[in-house]
Amino acid sequence: MCGVVGSWRVELIEAHRDLFQPPADFPGAAQGSPECDAGWRELLDRLCVRIRAIVQADGGTFKFSQIKEKYGTLRVYWDGSLSPDADAQVEEAIALAEARSAVTCEVCGEEGRLRAGAWLTTRCEAHSEDRPSVEHRSGLENVHLVRHFADGRRFVTCRRYDRQNDVFVDVDPATLGIEED
């Protein structure tokens, strides 16, 4: 790894120039340049590869507007024009990256946990700075709730993030004690 501070960001932007559209003379000034630590570099690269494939297949436009850490996890915002199907695929790719960030140390990229303190961070044990882990109700670790409405009813879909395979696995809300209206 290059010794220049922030060089991983420039390398990421250069590798995915079409998604960031940086100024020709200074890639580090690209809108959407990641505002997070190097531990999330790999998950951001994976996100870019997924989004590039979706955009190329769709023929639409895409540009990151902001990538940052907030409340210990990744947040990704973008502008562009894609078909509804491609838009949904991009949002799914972003959801996977955000879920992965919640279990990946922002400092080193190893498996991590959300940590409490003056602010929330996701860190492995080595980078935890002795901050306690944020406790979850048993069985709800890595569970993401998706609420949607149809035919005047509210529905809840539950998905558990599987870090090893980098996928969501559907979970029956009733098995988690979550009731739908």
Whether residues 154 and 73 share a domain: the answer is no
The Cα 55–Cα 81 span in angstroms is: 9
Is 123 in the same domain as 159? no
If you average pLDDT over residues 156-171, what whole number do you get?
Answer: 87
As a whole number of angstroms, the distance between CA 140 and CA 102 comes to: 13
Domain count, the chain: 2
Residues 127 and 165 occupy one common structural domain: no
In this structure, is residue 31 part of a structural domain? yes
Among 94, 97, 101, 100, which residue's Cα sits nearest to residue 80?
Answer: 94
Which residue in 146, 149, 112 sits closest to 129, CA to CA? 112
Radius of gyration of the CA atoms of the chain, in A = 18
CA 36, CA 9: separation in Å to the nearest integer? Answer: 9
Mean per-residue pLDDT of the chain? 87
Q: Is residue 1 included in any domain, yes or no?
A: no
| Same domain, yes or no: 131 and 150 | no
What pLDDT, on the 0 to 100 scale, is given for residue 4? 45
Does residue 95 belong to any structural domain of this protein?
yes
List strands edge to edge, sheet with 143-150: 143-150, 153-162, 167-171
Pairwise CA distance, residues 120 & 43, whole Å: 19
The pLDDT score that the predictor gives to residue 174 is 76
**pLDDT by residue (tens digit) across 106-161?**
999 999 999 998 899 999 999 998 888 887 666 667 777 676 676 777 777 788 89
d(CA 138, CA 179): 17
Lowest-pLDDT range of 21-25, 40-44, 88-92, 109-113: 21-25
- pLDDT of 59-114, one tens digit each? 999 999 999 999 999 999 999 999 999 999 999 999 999 999 999 999 999 999 99
Same domain, 97 and 177: no
Q: Is residue 88 a part of any domain in this protein? A: yes
Percent of all residues in the chain with a pLDDT value above 90, rounded to a whole number = 62
Domain around 179: 139-181
Q: What is the DSSP string of 52-115?
A: HHHHHHHT-EEEEEEEEEETTEEEEEEEEE--HHHHHHHHHHHHHHHHHHTTB-TTT-SB-EEE
β-bridge mates for residue 67, sequence order:
76
The answer to the question of residue 2 being in a domain is: no
Judge if 70 and 130 occupy the same domain. Answer: yes
Domain shared by 56 and 100, yes or no: yes
Statement: the pTM of the whole predicted model exceeds 0.75: yes
87 and 112 in a common domain? yes
Cα 56 from Cα 160, distance rounded (Å):
29
